Amino acid sequence: MQGINKVPLLDLSRSHRAIAAETSEAIARVVDSQQFIMGPDVHLFEEESARYLEVPHAVACASGSDALLLALQALGVGPGDEVVTTPFSFFATAACIARLGATPVFADVREDSFNISMEAAAAAFTPRTKAFIPVHLFGQLSRVDEIDATLKQRGIALVEDCAQSFGAHRMAGGHIVRSGGWGSLGCFSFFPTKNLGAFGDAGMVTAHDGAQAEHLKRLRLHGAAAMYQHDEIGVNSRMDTMQAAVLRVRLRRIEEWIEQRREAARIYGMMIAERGLLDRVKPPVEDDGCRHTYHQYVIRAQRRDELLSYLTEHGVSARVYYPIPLHLQPCFEYVGMKRGSLPVAERLCGEVLALPIFPGLTEGEQDYVVRTIDDFYRG
Protein backbone atom coordinates (compact mmCIF):
# COMPACT_ATOMS: atom_id res chain seq x y z
CA MET A 1 0.00 0.00 0.00
CA GLN A 2 2.93 2.31 0.74
CA GLY A 3 4.67 2.10 -2.60
CA ILE A 4 1.76 2.97 -4.90
CA ASN A 5 2.53 5.86 -7.24
CA LYS A 6 0.66 4.86 -10.37
CA VAL A 7 -2.96 3.79 -10.99
CA PRO A 8 -4.22 2.84 -14.46
CA LEU A 9 -7.69 3.90 -15.63
CA LEU A 10 -8.38 0.31 -16.63
CA ASP A 11 -6.32 -2.88 -16.31
CA LEU A 12 -8.01 -5.75 -18.12
CA SER A 13 -5.22 -8.21 -17.32
CA ARG A 14 -6.36 -8.53 -13.70
CA SER A 15 -9.78 -9.98 -14.49
CA HIS A 16 -8.38 -12.02 -17.39
CA ARG A 17 -5.82 -13.80 -15.24
CA ALA A 18 -8.37 -15.96 -13.42
CA ILE A 19 -9.95 -17.18 -16.67
CA ALA A 20 -6.88 -17.25 -18.93
CA ALA A 21 -6.73 -21.04 -19.28
CA GLU A 22 -10.47 -21.39 -19.84
CA THR A 23 -10.37 -18.65 -22.48
CA SER A 24 -7.44 -20.22 -24.33
CA GLU A 25 -9.29 -23.54 -24.44
CA ALA A 26 -12.40 -21.86 -25.84
CA ILE A 27 -10.35 -20.17 -28.56
CA ALA A 28 -8.52 -23.40 -29.36
CA ARG A 29 -11.87 -25.15 -29.87
CA VAL A 30 -12.86 -22.51 -32.45
CA VAL A 31 -9.53 -22.89 -34.24
CA ASP A 32 -9.99 -26.66 -34.33
CA SER A 33 -13.51 -26.28 -35.76
CA GLN A 34 -12.33 -23.78 -38.44
CA GLN A 35 -15.79 -22.16 -38.29
CA PHE A 36 -14.78 -18.55 -37.80
CA ILE A 37 -18.00 -16.78 -38.73
CA MET A 38 -21.33 -17.46 -36.97
CA GLY A 39 -20.19 -20.80 -35.55
CA PRO A 40 -22.07 -22.65 -32.77
CA ASP A 41 -20.65 -20.40 -30.03
CA VAL A 42 -22.50 -17.42 -31.54
CA HIS A 43 -25.90 -19.04 -31.15
CA LEU A 44 -25.02 -20.29 -27.68
CA PHE A 45 -23.88 -16.82 -26.66
CA GLU A 46 -27.15 -15.36 -27.97
CA GLU A 47 -29.15 -17.88 -25.93
CA GLU A 48 -27.09 -17.45 -22.77
CA SER A 49 -27.14 -13.67 -22.83
CA ALA A 50 -30.88 -13.56 -23.59
CA ARG A 51 -31.41 -15.73 -20.51
CA TYR A 52 -29.16 -13.53 -18.36
CA LEU A 53 -30.77 -10.31 -19.59
CA GLU A 54 -34.28 -11.79 -19.34
CA VAL A 55 -35.22 -10.86 -22.89
CA PRO A 56 -36.84 -13.25 -25.38
CA HIS A 57 -34.40 -12.69 -28.28
CA ALA A 58 -30.78 -11.68 -28.77
CA VAL A 59 -29.13 -11.14 -32.14
CA ALA A 60 -25.33 -10.97 -32.15
CA CYS A 61 -23.57 -8.57 -34.51
CA ALA A 62 -20.18 -7.02 -35.20
CA SER A 63 -20.19 -3.99 -32.86
CA GLY A 64 -22.30 -1.76 -30.64
CA SER A 65 -22.34 0.88 -33.37
CA ASP A 66 -23.75 -1.70 -35.79
CA ALA A 67 -26.30 -2.79 -33.18
CA LEU A 68 -27.70 0.76 -33.14
CA LEU A 69 -27.65 0.99 -36.93
CA LEU A 70 -29.37 -2.40 -37.36
CA ALA A 71 -32.02 -1.51 -34.76
CA LEU A 72 -32.93 1.75 -36.47
CA GLN A 73 -32.89 0.07 -39.86
CA ALA A 74 -35.23 -2.64 -38.60
CA LEU A 75 -37.61 0.12 -37.49
CA GLY A 76 -37.48 1.68 -40.95
CA VAL A 77 -35.91 4.94 -39.79
CA GLY A 78 -34.87 7.07 -42.77
CA PRO A 79 -34.94 10.51 -44.40
CA GLY A 80 -37.62 12.83 -43.00
CA ASP A 81 -37.69 11.04 -39.64
CA GLU A 82 -36.51 12.52 -36.36
CA VAL A 83 -34.92 10.50 -33.57
CA VAL A 84 -34.69 12.04 -30.09
CA THR A 85 -31.57 11.25 -28.08
CA THR A 86 -29.07 12.56 -25.54
CA PRO A 87 -26.25 15.02 -26.30
CA PHE A 88 -24.12 13.50 -23.51
CA SER A 89 -22.91 10.17 -24.86
CA PHE A 90 -20.42 8.46 -27.11
CA PHE A 91 -20.58 9.61 -30.75
CA ALA A 92 -22.10 6.35 -32.08
CA THR A 93 -25.44 7.03 -30.36
CA ALA A 94 -26.19 9.91 -32.72
CA ALA A 95 -24.12 8.82 -35.71
CA CYS A 96 -26.42 5.87 -36.48
CA ILE A 97 -29.37 8.28 -36.86
CA ALA A 98 -27.52 10.50 -39.31
CA ARG A 99 -26.11 7.50 -41.21
CA LEU A 100 -29.69 6.49 -42.15
CA GLY A 101 -30.54 9.98 -43.33
CA ALA A 102 -32.74 10.81 -40.33
CA THR A 103 -32.27 13.86 -38.11
CA PRO A 104 -30.94 13.58 -34.54
CA VAL A 105 -32.83 15.79 -32.09
CA PHE A 106 -30.98 16.35 -28.83
CA ALA A 107 -32.73 16.81 -25.47
CA ASP A 108 -30.95 17.88 -22.30
CA VAL A 109 -29.82 15.55 -19.50
CA ARG A 110 -30.36 15.30 -15.76
CA GLU A 111 -27.70 16.83 -13.57
CA ASP A 112 -27.79 13.99 -11.01
CA SER A 113 -27.62 10.81 -13.13
CA PHE A 114 -26.22 12.36 -16.36
CA ASN A 115 -28.98 10.47 -18.20
CA ILE A 116 -31.43 12.09 -20.60
CA SER A 117 -34.25 13.99 -18.88
CA MET A 118 -37.57 12.38 -19.76
CA GLU A 119 -39.37 15.76 -19.53
CA ALA A 120 -36.88 17.27 -21.97
CA ALA A 121 -37.22 14.27 -24.28
CA ALA A 122 -41.03 14.41 -24.27
CA ALA A 123 -40.88 18.13 -25.05
CA ALA A 124 -38.69 17.37 -28.09
CA PHE A 125 -41.17 14.91 -29.66
CA THR A 126 -42.90 16.06 -32.86
CA PRO A 127 -45.18 14.23 -35.32
CA ARG A 128 -41.96 13.29 -37.21
CA THR A 129 -40.38 11.55 -34.22
CA LYS A 130 -39.97 7.91 -35.18
CA ALA A 131 -37.77 6.64 -32.37
CA PHE A 132 -36.28 7.56 -29.01
CA ILE A 133 -32.77 6.46 -27.97
CA PRO A 134 -32.01 6.90 -24.27
CA VAL A 135 -28.48 5.91 -23.24
CA HIS A 136 -28.02 4.18 -19.90
CA LEU A 137 -24.85 6.13 -19.28
CA PHE A 138 -21.85 4.91 -17.29
CA GLY A 139 -23.78 1.79 -16.21
CA GLN A 140 -27.00 3.24 -14.80
CA LEU A 141 -30.48 2.90 -16.30
CA SER A 142 -32.33 6.00 -17.39
CA ARG A 143 -35.90 6.54 -16.18
CA VAL A 144 -37.64 5.00 -19.16
CA ASP A 145 -40.65 4.09 -16.98
CA GLU A 146 -41.52 7.81 -16.83
CA ILE A 147 -41.97 8.07 -20.59
CA ASP A 148 -43.20 4.59 -21.52
CA ALA A 149 -46.87 5.58 -21.72
CA THR A 150 -46.12 8.66 -23.86
CA LEU A 151 -44.08 6.56 -26.29
CA LYS A 152 -46.88 4.01 -26.68
CA GLN A 153 -49.50 6.72 -27.09
CA ARG A 154 -47.53 8.48 -29.84
CA GLY A 155 -46.27 5.32 -31.55
CA ILE A 156 -42.62 6.19 -30.98
CA ALA A 157 -40.24 3.22 -30.93
CA LEU A 158 -37.87 2.80 -28.02
CA VAL A 159 -34.26 1.82 -28.74
CA GLU A 160 -32.13 1.52 -25.62
CA ASP A 161 -28.41 2.21 -25.97
CA CYS A 162 -27.20 -0.40 -23.46
CA ALA A 163 -23.54 -0.26 -24.57
CA GLN A 164 -22.45 0.75 -21.07
CA SER A 165 -25.08 -1.03 -19.02
CA PHE A 166 -24.93 -4.81 -19.49
CA GLY A 167 -26.45 -6.27 -16.32
CA ALA A 168 -27.78 -2.99 -14.92
CA HIS A 169 -31.33 -2.97 -13.61
CA ARG A 170 -33.91 -0.76 -12.00
CA MET A 171 -36.99 -1.25 -9.83
CA ALA A 172 -40.04 0.27 -11.48
CA GLY A 173 -43.70 -0.32 -10.75
CA GLY A 174 -42.84 -3.01 -8.22
CA HIS A 175 -40.68 -5.18 -10.46
CA ILE A 176 -37.12 -5.33 -11.74
CA VAL A 177 -36.48 -4.14 -15.27
CA ARG A 178 -33.14 -5.00 -16.79
CA SER A 179 -31.05 -3.08 -19.26
CA GLY A 180 -32.56 -3.87 -22.66
CA GLY A 181 -35.76 -5.01 -21.00
CA TRP A 182 -37.82 -1.85 -21.56
CA GLY A 183 -37.36 -1.25 -25.17
CA SER A 184 -38.61 -2.87 -28.26
CA LEU A 185 -34.87 -3.07 -29.03
CA GLY A 186 -31.76 -2.95 -26.82
CA CYS A 187 -28.29 -2.31 -28.26
CA PHE A 188 -25.20 -3.71 -26.57
CA SER A 189 -21.48 -3.35 -27.20
CA PHE A 190 -18.78 -5.82 -26.24
CA PHE A 191 -15.90 -3.49 -27.10
CA PRO A 192 -12.96 -4.68 -24.94
CA THR A 193 -13.27 -1.85 -22.40
CA LYS A 194 -17.00 -2.41 -21.69
CA ASN A 195 -18.04 -4.32 -18.55
CA LEU A 196 -18.49 -7.44 -20.67
CA GLY A 197 -15.72 -7.08 -23.24
CA ALA A 198 -14.55 -9.28 -26.11
CA PHE A 199 -11.07 -9.55 -27.68
CA GLY A 200 -12.09 -7.12 -30.41
CA ASP A 201 -15.30 -5.58 -31.74
CA ALA A 202 -18.63 -7.28 -31.03
CA GLY A 203 -22.22 -6.23 -30.35
CA MET A 204 -25.81 -7.43 -29.95
CA VAL A 205 -29.41 -6.33 -30.36
CA THR A 206 -32.04 -7.69 -27.99
CA ALA A 207 -35.65 -7.86 -29.13
CA HIS A 208 -39.04 -8.64 -27.62
CA ASP A 209 -40.77 -9.45 -30.87
CA GLY A 210 -39.86 -12.66 -32.70
CA ALA A 211 -40.52 -11.29 -36.18
CA GLN A 212 -38.34 -8.28 -35.44
CA ALA A 213 -35.54 -10.58 -34.25
CA GLU A 214 -35.77 -12.55 -37.51
CA HIS A 215 -35.63 -9.29 -39.45
CA LEU A 216 -32.48 -8.27 -37.56
CA LYS A 217 -30.92 -11.64 -38.38
CA ARG A 218 -31.54 -10.99 -42.08
CA LEU A 219 -30.24 -7.43 -41.91
CA ARG A 220 -26.91 -8.57 -40.42
CA LEU A 221 -26.46 -10.89 -43.43
CA HIS A 222 -26.79 -8.26 -46.17
CA GLY A 223 -30.57 -8.47 -45.88
CA ALA A 224 -30.59 -12.01 -47.30
CA ALA A 225 -33.90 -13.86 -46.82
CA ALA A 226 -32.21 -17.02 -48.10
CA MET A 227 -28.80 -17.67 -49.58
CA TYR A 228 -28.27 -15.19 -52.47
CA GLN A 229 -31.82 -13.84 -52.28
CA HIS A 230 -32.01 -10.18 -51.23
CA ASP A 231 -35.39 -8.49 -50.74
CA GLU A 232 -33.73 -5.55 -49.00
CA ILE A 233 -30.26 -4.16 -48.41
CA GLY A 234 -28.70 -4.92 -45.04
CA VAL A 235 -25.11 -4.85 -43.84
CA ASN A 236 -22.29 -7.29 -43.20
CA SER A 237 -22.40 -7.40 -39.42
CA ARG A 238 -21.89 -10.86 -38.02
CA MET A 239 -20.16 -11.77 -34.78
CA ASP A 240 -16.92 -13.74 -35.10
CA THR A 241 -17.13 -17.18 -33.51
CA MET A 242 -13.92 -16.42 -31.61
CA GLN A 243 -15.48 -13.37 -29.94
CA ALA A 244 -18.56 -15.36 -28.98
CA ALA A 245 -16.39 -18.11 -27.47
CA VAL A 246 -14.49 -15.54 -25.38
CA LEU A 247 -17.70 -13.78 -24.35
CA ARG A 248 -19.32 -17.04 -23.20
CA VAL A 249 -16.47 -17.60 -20.73
CA ARG A 250 -16.70 -14.00 -19.53
CA LEU A 251 -20.50 -13.98 -19.21
CA ARG A 252 -20.11 -16.53 -16.42
CA ARG A 253 -18.07 -13.94 -14.47
CA ILE A 254 -20.10 -10.81 -15.14
CA GLU A 255 -22.06 -10.81 -11.86
CA GLU A 256 -18.84 -11.14 -9.84
CA TRP A 257 -17.22 -8.30 -11.85
CA ILE A 258 -20.23 -6.01 -11.45
CA GLU A 259 -20.20 -6.61 -7.69
CA GLN A 260 -16.49 -5.75 -7.57
CA ARG A 261 -17.14 -2.50 -9.45
CA ARG A 262 -20.01 -1.64 -7.08
CA GLU A 263 -17.81 -2.31 -4.07
CA ALA A 264 -15.03 -0.11 -5.49
CA ALA A 265 -17.61 2.67 -6.02
CA ARG A 266 -18.80 2.34 -2.42
CA ILE A 267 -15.20 2.62 -1.19
CA TYR A 268 -14.50 5.72 -3.34
CA GLY A 269 -17.64 7.36 -1.92
CA MET A 270 -16.53 6.63 1.63
CA MET A 271 -12.97 7.85 1.06
CA ILE A 272 -14.13 11.07 -0.62
CA ALA A 273 -16.47 11.82 2.30
CA GLU A 274 -13.89 10.91 4.96
CA ARG A 275 -11.36 13.33 3.52
CA GLY A 276 -13.92 16.12 3.62
CA LEU A 277 -13.85 16.56 -0.16
CA LEU A 278 -17.60 16.70 -0.74
CA ASP A 279 -17.61 20.48 -1.24
CA ARG A 280 -15.07 20.10 -4.11
CA VAL A 281 -16.01 16.75 -5.61
CA LYS A 282 -19.46 15.23 -6.19
CA PRO A 283 -19.46 11.42 -6.33
CA PRO A 284 -21.88 9.80 -8.82
CA VAL A 285 -25.50 9.57 -7.68
CA GLU A 286 -27.34 6.25 -7.74
CA ASP A 287 -30.84 6.90 -8.97
CA ASP A 288 -33.78 5.50 -6.93
CA GLY A 289 -34.08 1.74 -7.31
CA CYS A 290 -31.11 1.49 -9.67
CA ARG A 291 -28.40 -1.11 -9.68
CA HIS A 292 -25.58 0.98 -11.12
CA THR A 293 -22.94 -1.24 -12.74
CA TYR A 294 -20.21 1.45 -12.72
CA HIS A 295 -18.91 1.01 -16.22
CA GLN A 296 -17.36 4.36 -15.30
CA TYR A 297 -17.04 6.06 -11.92
CA VAL A 298 -17.63 9.68 -12.88
CA ILE A 299 -17.27 12.53 -10.41
CA ARG A 300 -18.02 16.22 -10.90
CA ALA A 301 -15.04 18.26 -9.84
CA GLN A 302 -14.25 21.92 -9.25
CA ARG A 303 -11.32 23.15 -11.42
CA ARG A 304 -11.65 19.88 -13.34
CA ASP A 305 -8.95 20.50 -15.95
CA GLU A 306 -6.35 21.48 -13.35
CA LEU A 307 -7.27 18.43 -11.26
CA LEU A 308 -6.90 16.18 -14.32
CA SER A 309 -3.40 17.57 -15.03
CA TYR A 310 -2.40 17.15 -11.38
CA LEU A 311 -3.64 13.53 -11.30
CA THR A 312 -1.82 12.76 -14.55
CA GLU A 313 1.43 14.26 -13.19
CA HIS A 314 1.08 12.06 -10.12
CA GLY A 315 0.50 8.81 -11.99
CA VAL A 316 -3.30 8.61 -11.71
CA SER A 317 -4.87 7.94 -15.04
CA ALA A 318 -8.27 9.70 -15.25
CA ARG A 319 -10.31 10.74 -18.30
CA VAL A 320 -13.07 13.08 -19.41
CA TYR A 321 -16.19 11.36 -20.77
CA TYR A 322 -17.31 13.47 -22.64
CA PRO A 323 -15.55 16.78 -23.29
CA ILE A 324 -17.86 18.01 -26.11
CA PRO A 325 -21.64 17.48 -26.19
CA LEU A 326 -22.88 15.91 -29.41
CA HIS A 327 -24.99 18.90 -30.48
CA LEU A 328 -21.81 21.02 -30.59
CA GLN A 329 -19.83 18.55 -32.73
CA PRO A 330 -18.99 20.13 -36.12
CA CYS A 331 -20.65 17.25 -38.01
CA PHE A 332 -24.00 18.01 -36.33
CA GLU A 333 -23.87 21.76 -36.94
CA TYR A 334 -26.68 21.34 -39.49
CA VAL A 335 -29.06 20.34 -36.70
CA GLY A 336 -28.87 24.00 -35.67
CA MET A 337 -28.50 23.69 -31.90
CA LYS A 338 -26.25 26.49 -30.67
CA ARG A 339 -24.10 26.74 -27.56
CA GLY A 340 -26.40 27.48 -24.63
CA SER A 341 -29.31 25.42 -26.00
CA LEU A 342 -28.66 22.40 -23.73
CA PRO A 343 -27.12 24.01 -20.64
CA VAL A 344 -26.93 20.99 -18.33
CA ALA A 345 -25.05 18.79 -20.81
CA GLU A 346 -22.77 21.69 -21.72
CA ARG A 347 -21.94 22.38 -18.07
CA LEU A 348 -21.34 18.70 -17.27
CA CYS A 349 -18.80 18.46 -20.11
CA GLY A 350 -16.66 20.92 -18.14
CA GLU A 351 -17.05 19.20 -14.76
CA VAL A 352 -17.00 15.42 -15.24
CA LEU A 353 -13.99 13.22 -14.60
CA ALA A 354 -13.81 9.40 -14.72
CA LEU A 355 -11.59 7.82 -12.07
CA PRO A 356 -9.97 4.38 -12.36
CA ILE A 357 -12.48 1.55 -11.85
CA PHE A 358 -12.26 -2.11 -12.85
CA PRO A 359 -12.39 -5.56 -11.25
CA GLY A 360 -9.16 -6.10 -9.34
CA LEU A 361 -8.58 -2.42 -8.47
CA THR A 362 -7.16 -2.46 -4.93
CA GLU A 363 -8.17 -0.42 -1.92
CA GLY A 364 -4.57 0.82 -1.71
CA GLU A 365 -4.83 2.16 -5.25
CA GLN A 366 -8.15 3.83 -4.48
CA ASP A 367 -6.60 5.41 -1.41
CA TYR A 368 -3.77 6.78 -3.57
CA VAL A 369 -6.30 8.25 -6.07
CA VAL A 370 -8.36 9.99 -3.38
CA ARG A 371 -5.25 11.13 -1.47
CA THR A 372 -3.91 12.71 -4.68
CA ILE A 373 -7.24 14.52 -5.21
CA ASP A 374 -7.03 15.73 -1.60
CA ASP A 375 -3.42 16.95 -2.11
CA PHE A 376 -4.53 18.92 -5.17
CA TYR A 377 -7.28 20.83 -3.36
CA ARG A 378 -5.08 21.47 -0.33
CA GLY A 379 -2.64 23.05 -2.84
Which residues sit at the interface with ligand PLP, rule CB under 6 A? 63-65, 89-90, 92-93, 135, 161, 163-164, 189, 191, 201, 203
Which C-beta is closer to ligand PLP: that of 92 or that of 156? 92
Q: Whole-number minimum distance, CB 203 to ligand PLP, in Å?
A: 5
Tell me which residue has its CB nearest to ligand PLP: 64
Which C-beta is closer to ligand PLP: that of 277 or that of 290? 290
Burial of 277 (0-12, 13-18, 19+ CB in 10 A): buried
User: What would the 3-class secondary structure string for the chain be?
Assistant: CCCCCCECCCCHHHHHHCCHHHHHHHHHHHHHHCCCECCHHHHHHHHHHHHHHCCCEEEEECCHHHHHHHHHHHCCCCCCCEEEECCCCCCHHHHHHHHCCCEEEECCECCCCCCECHHHHHHHCCCCEEEEECECHHHCCCCHHHCHHHHHHHCCEEEEECCCCCCCEEEECCEEEECCCCCCEEEEECCCCCCCCCCCCCEEEEECCHHHHHHHHHHCECCEEECCEECCCCCECCCEHHHHHHHHHHHCCHHHHHHHHHHHHHHHHHHHHHCCCCCCEECCCCCCCEECCCCCEEEEECCHHHHHHHHHHCCECCECCCCCCHHHCHHHHHHCCCCCCCHHHHHHHCCEEEECCCCCCCHHHHHHHHHHHHHHHHC
User: What residues pair up with 82 in beta bridges, in sequence order?
Assistant: 103, 129
Q: Whole-number minimum distance, CB 2 to ligand PLP, in Å?
A: 36
Which C-beta is closer to ligand PLP: that of 184 or that of 366? 184
Which C-beta is closer to ligand PLP: that of 115 or that of 189? 189
Q: Whole-number minimum distance, CB 210 to ligand PLP, in Å?
A: 25
Q: Whole-number minimum distance, CB 338 to ligand PLP, in Å?
A: 24
Burial 123-135 (b: 16+ CB within 10 A, else e): ebbeeebbbbbbb
Which C-beta is closer to ligand PLP: that of 103 or that of 189? 189
Q: Whole-number minimum distance, CB 316 to ligand PLP, in Å?
A: 22
Which C-beta is closer to ligand PLP: that of 60 or that of 373? 60
Q: Whole-number minimum distance, CB 75 to ligand PLP, in Å?
A: 17
Which C-beta is closer to ligand PLP: that of 166 or that of 310? 166
Residue 40 near residue 240 (C-beta atoms within 8 A): no
Q: Whole-number minimum distance, CB 155 to ligand PLP, in Å?
A: 25
Q: Whole-number minimum distance, CB 171 to ligand PLP, in Å?
A: 23
Which C-beta is closer to ligand PLP: that of 156 or that of 163? 163
Q: Whole-number minimum distance, CB 149 to ligand PLP, in Å?
A: 25
Q: Whole-number minimum distance, CB 261 to ligand PLP, in Å?
A: 16
Give the separation between CA 268 and CA 284, rounded to whole angstroms. Answer: 10
Q: Which of 93, 33, 104 is nearest to 69 (CA)?
A: 93
Which C-beta is closer to ligand PLP: that of 163 or that of 316? 163
Question: Who contacts 311 (Cβ-Cβ below 8 Å, separation ≥6)?
Answer: 317, 318, 369, 372, 373, 376
Which C-beta is closer to ligand PLP: that of 89 or that of 117? 89
